[in-house]
Structure 1
Amino acid sequence: MQISVTEAKGQLTELMRRAERGDEIILTRHGHAAVRLVPVKPVADAKSRKLLLDAVRASAAEKVAGGPSAARSQDFLYDENGLPDDRR
């Protein structure tokens, strides 16, 4: 269903109910589609959130790769006195 923003102002509660039931509600401005009303997805319960976080943490732990330390990775930019090396 498409409805102008001006018309929707007086019917917002009903439009929200229809969107929550799954109807597609498009608000138009000057005859052009501007906004779609969609229901908010329910937030996951605590158990689902914990499972998701555990999966993310496990995935991240698998991707950790050792490598050189970044602490001295840009030493080549400086001379033996710690000043910028002009030769590069």
Structure 2
Amino acid sequence: MRISVTEAKGQLTDLVRRAEAGDEVILTRHGHPAVRLVPITATPDRKARRALLEAARKSGAAKATNGPTAARSQDFLYGDDGLPK
């Protein structure tokens, strides 16, 4: 929804409710977008962030597979004679 700043002055409470409900509210000045109203999302606390990081680490460790060592990781680029293919 686009509405001019002048019109929004009288409808601010309604516009805030609409933004909180998920509607995109853009305030315009002279027909050009000036401001967008968006709801503030709750910032996770330290404990929640820690739990998220631990879950990501466990997930990554479970998906990790052993591959070639660094000394052999580029062998496919070279022939049996040791020269580039």
TM-score by structure 2 length? 0.56
Structure 1 gaps, min length 5: none
Distance 2:71 2:18 in 1: 53
Runs ≥4 residues deviating over 2 A: 26-37, 70-80
1:40 shift after superposition: 2.7
Distance 2:28 2:19 in 1: 20
Structure 2 gaps, min length 5: none
Distance 2:29 2:70 in 1: 53
Identity %: 45
Partner of 2:78: 77
TM-score by structure 1 length? 0.54
Partner of 1:22: 20
The answer as to whether partners of 1:19 and 1:38 remain within 8 angstroms in 2 is no
